Structure 1
């Protein structure tokens, strides 16, 4: 699927949900308190950011879309600060104001980019505001092309069903970021975007891709949804549409600093793209790229339109990334349907060096797609001994997925990749080092069905073991 950036400035979105103010106090720490065994932070910087549904709205306007925001704040300084920030970002704020409950505020104390503590100031909002919220929502539906319900289970969305019904009556798609294990309350929504934990809390544990899809299809039918998007952390996202094959989007993050607000980024990008006239599949591809950007930032952060556009041009959506075995089989089926030649190689790749990079570039040149299989941590330890790997599998996969030569990265538990090779059945099997063709693990199998087996050389004087020994000896 080829992605292009739509005219997001044409989108008009309505967001209803739990409003929050995220506060960050930063400062150095150089001593332990004499009063208790805790670090003393000298606060020298304070920062406020909209959170929860407010962060969804902020993301939409940062992408270039127009947005109206409905929610509840207290009659306090935090509520004023939140509204001021949102107004300055061109968010149309339509707030209910509570006399009894405070604006939900989350205070984080950080030192050297490390979060030391979070303090929450909140009380659950009562159901008395639901009528007012419904009236405000219905008054705004005629001017928007998508409705987002951002539920953090703080009481704002005590009766989401009436909002969903009003939106569907107005022919406005409804996207819900759900909370809790009662998804019945979101019946009739266009799309739910649960994470894997939230999804399994409702349908039960999923032991395979097939089971996940089957349970998702059942949930779609049961709740009368148009689609379901399950966000799966390092395994990307899976979009399920009724009666159709699932569409998987591998994770795009290169380095993860903070997952705060990642779900907000996903649903805001989805809603903005849909409101701009894009299909659900294209909107999900854009949301996947946006999520990969935001987890590389600290705290709740909005993705700008230019940032997303650059990433789309560089990454082209769901074409590459870290992937599971079952997801790889689906991707390979699509690649072969397009006539692409699959190359397979494997190794530990504990410390990436120039020899690895040059070798992987040579391997990729042998075909159209390169599958890189790496030994998991226990497998590396068995092969290399105690103290290895230096870098755990998730970090190795993230770094390798960032190389231009690599299309898909997958890990295996065994000492050799023979099981995985039998599933992939590559057109070309490549191995680096001083091997003879008859010494390449899996070579006989690949040759048996007419595949090619090739041995490529690493660059001279490049060895992970030598690098580790040099570091340990220094």
Structure 2
């Protein structure tokens, strides 16, 4: 076992500490709407609505690490300008411990994106630089920062902070701290001796020469030996992620992205989630799978998106259960809190939904139109059996939940074990409680609770002649 692997094995506590070193930058977004073309030139006129600032580069990596749970530190260089001060404030707000070398007389790298609606119109870059004295100070601070660190991520954007990377890699290796590198410069010697190197496909070919996809794994194995690496991970966009290890293991992960909105910062998310997974004890193949999922979340959001632990756990849960809308109550509660914060109106209904029929579909469609998010409480199999008697349910919980998940009207499905949904209603706190017309407003469970909270109760009309009991009776004849 290598010293790097020993260090990882010894760092399996609940809160690993990950140090990020490299080129931090500030991402600015000017967001507005376009309704006309400029009379001065054939370009759109954007009426600026708001401005946002987000961490970029190494700062985005550190923010992603922290949002996924571990302690996160960032060692970087910024200029003595407003951009540097804004970046320092962003890191503090995101809970990242910042060790920042202030480079006098230099500017902080900034990327300003002009957004109209959902479309990026233009990007304006202001590249900073790093003085020799600031780079030497970063190297001096680096070794002192390694005490108690589980892993170090080098985020190289070729802005100057990592010009002395070979020396930093040697220090990390001597101290037994595994080093994970996201490369940018087409110079293999710069990254030799890393524990893991993570280029994208374009960077891999720039570093090690062009090769077709079918020989990529073989070329990667040769690179491991040439550069004294333990792992080489190549991200290939829609083609997924390829991992090759020094021991000869090859794993090809297909992409997880269902919807690609913006790829900005996806590489930062991948390296952060990958290292977090390994530092928390996952086998590297599982950690890469986790990183793949985190990247699929990041690219489905506009701009540089910091993926949170709850987002990742929700996606993992949904995939493992093969039911895209069934959530455990703690995850659901978090999503509903977020929806309420955005002004969403929450609607709740419940039932056994044992044999789904047209009456159910109309009820759920009507319920969804009463608000912004429809939560369906679903009786467990034991609960249905107690209420309806054997041999009900005729469809298992998994099947019933999957069928409900296939309806566009349903946003979330949540299980309850009790005979009534009273405790679930108390947890969901709906703005609207909907039940079918076989109830009255006075007999709906939880009606008083909803009204006391300022909500309303709605009784939906029944669709004549449609019921699960009638359907099962007809089948039995």
TM bin, normalised by shorter chain, reads 0.5 to 0.7
Q: Which segment is superposed worse, 219-228 or 32-41?
A: 32-41
306, 309, 312: which one aligns with 1:305: 309
Partner Cα separation in structure 2 for residue 257 and residue 177 of structure 1: 23
Is 1:218–2:202 an aligned residue pair?
no
Report the counterpart of residue 300 of structure 2 in structure 1. 296
101, 107, 113: which one aligns with 2:112: 107
Q: How does 1:113-152 map onto structure 2 within 5 Å?
A: 113-152=118-157
Tell me if structure 1 keeps the 8 A contact 2:111–2:123: yes
TM-score, normalised to structure 2, is: 0.63
Report the counterpart of residue 164 of structure 2 in structure 1. 159
Partner Cα separation in structure 1 for residue 66 and residue 271 of structure 2: 13
Tell me if structure 1 keeps the 8 A contact 2:243–2:252: yes
Report the counterpart of residue 227 of structure 1 in structure 2. 231
Q: Which consecutive unaligned segments of at least 5 residues does structure 2 have?
A: 1-10, 322-405, 407-477
Deviations 1:297-324 (A, max 9, x none): 111111000111111122259xxxxxxx
Is 1:268–2:264 an aligned residue pair?
no
Q: For residue 101 of structure 2, give the secondary structure of its aligned residue in structure 1.
A: strand
Report the counterpart of residue 249 of structure 1 in structure 2. 253
Report the counterpart of residue 440 of structure 1 in structure 2. none
Tell me if structure 2 keeps the 8 A contact 1:127–1:158: no
Tell me if structure 2 keeps the 8 A contact 1:11–1:273: no
Partner Cα separation in structure 2 for residue 132 and residue 231 of structure 1: 32
Deviations 1:252-283 (A, max 9, x none): 00010111000000000111122222222221
Residue 7 of structure 1 deviates from its aligned partner by 8.7
Residue 181 of structure 1 deviates from its aligned partner by 1.3
Report the counterpart of residue 314 of structure 1 in structure 2. 318
Deviations 1:2-43 (A, max 9, x none): xxxx99951210000001000000111111222222111111
What is the root-mean-square deviation in Å for CA atoms of aligned residues?
1.9
TM-score, normalised to structure 1, is: 0.64
Report the counterpart of residue 186 of structure 2 in structure 1. 181
Partner Cα separation in structure 2 for residue 243 and residue 76 of structure 1: 47
Which structure would you say has the larger RCO, counting Cα contacts within 8 Å and 6 or more residues apart? Answer: 1
C-alpha spacing 1:7/1:29, structure 2 compared with 1 (3 Å) = farther
Q: For residue 147 of structure 1, give the secondary structure of its aligned residue in structure 2.
A: strand
Partner Cα separation in structure 2 for residue 198 and residue 309 of structure 1: 30
Residue 245 of structure 1 deviates from its aligned partner by 3.4
Tell me if structure 2 keeps the 8 A contact 1:160–1:186: yes
Report the counterpart of residue 74 of structure 2 in structure 1. 69
Tell me if structure 1 keeps the 8 A contact 2:101–2:134: yes
Partner Cα separation in structure 2 for residue 192 and residue 69 of structure 1: 19
Q: For residue 252 of structure 2, give the secondary structure of its aligned residue in structure 1.
A: strand
Tell me if structure 1 keeps the 8 A contact 2:12–2:279: no
Partner Cα separation in structure 2 for residue 230 and residue 133 of structure 1: 28
Partner Cα separation in structure 1 for residue 239 and residue 13 of structure 2: 27
Partner Cα separation in structure 2 for residue 212 and residue 41 of structure 1: 44
Partner Cα separation in structure 2 for residue 245 and residue 51 of structure 1: 33
Q: How does 1:313-332 map onto structure 2 within 5 Å?
A: 313-316=317-320
Partner Cα separation in structure 2 for residue 314 and residue 291 of structure 1: 16
Deviations 1:61-90 (A, max 9, x none): 111111110111111111111111111111
Tell me if structure 2 keeps the 8 A contact 1:9–1:64: no
Deviations 1:373-401 (A, max 9, x none): xxxxxxxxxxxxxxxxxxxxxxxxxxxxx
Residue 123 of structure 1 deviates from its aligned partner by 3.0
For the pair shown, the structure with the greater C-alpha radius of gyration is: 2
Is 1:79–2:76 an aligned residue pair?
no
Report the counterpart of residue 413 of structure 1 in structure 2. none
Is 1:205–2:210 an aligned residue pair?
yes
Partner Cα separation in structure 2 for residue 8 and residue 293 of structure 1: 26
Deviations 1:146-180 (A, max 9, x none): 00000000111001111111111221110000012
Q: For residue 27 of structure 1, give the secondary structure of its aligned residue in structure 2.
A: strand
Q: Which consecutive unaligned segments of at least 5 residues does structure 1 have?
A: 1-5, 318-402, 404-474
Q: For residue 10 of structure 1, give the secondary structure of its aligned residue in structure 2.
A: coil
Tell me if structure 2 keeps the 8 A contact 1:8–1:63: no
Partner Cα separation in structure 2 for residue 221 and residue 109 of structure 1: 44
Q: How does 1:309-458 map onto structure 2 within 5 Å?
A: 309-316=313-320
Partner Cα separation in structure 2 for residue 135 and residue 110 of structure 1: 40
Partner Cα separation in structure 1 for residue 282 and residue 175 of structure 2: 19
C-alpha spacing 1:184/1:31, structure 2 compared with 1 (3 Å) = same
Is 1:57–2:62 an aligned residue pair?
yes
Report the counterpart of residue 285 of structure 1 in structure 2. 289
